[in-house]
Homo-oligomer: A and B are copies of this chain.
Amino acid sequence: MTATPPTGDQLVGMLAALSNPLRLRIVAELANGRDYVSNLARVIGVSRPLLHMHLQRLEAVGLIVGNLELSEDGKAMKYYEVADFDLRLTATTLAEAVATLTLKEKS
């Protein structure tokens, strides 16, 4: 059970963020423990700019959390870790979320 169920819009965002193999891999990798961008890019085997983009997307919807720290040797390291989320997807669950949907009215 999610502490506080996400709104329809939030849910759509989270699902969109998770509906990509690479991003799913990122979350899975971070589930083993926090890591910083460059290393994560090496581990997963992706270019750093690409990883950067996906991390932003995941963070934007609150699935992961980033933290810029300074290592002992003075380098800026951005560490990411998974937020603890727990989503339950059921026809009923989704119907409740849809009730709070704002998206889709074309601007």
Contact = CB atoms under 8 A, between A and B. Distances in A.
Interface of A: 8, 11-12, 15-16, 18-22, 24-25, 27-28, 30-32, 82, 84-92, 94-95, 97-99, 101, 103-104
Chain A at the B interface: SS class: helix
Given A18-B19, A87-B89, 13 more contacts: A8-B24, A11-B24, A12-B19, A16-B20, A18-B94, A19-B19, A27-B91, A27-B94, A28-B95, A28-B97, A31-B95, A86-B90, A89-B89
B21 A104 contact: yes
14 contacts: A8-B21, A15-B15, A15-B18, A15-B19, A16-B20, A18-B94, A24-B94, A24-B97, A25-B98, A25-B101, A28-B91, A31-B95, A87-B89, A88-B88
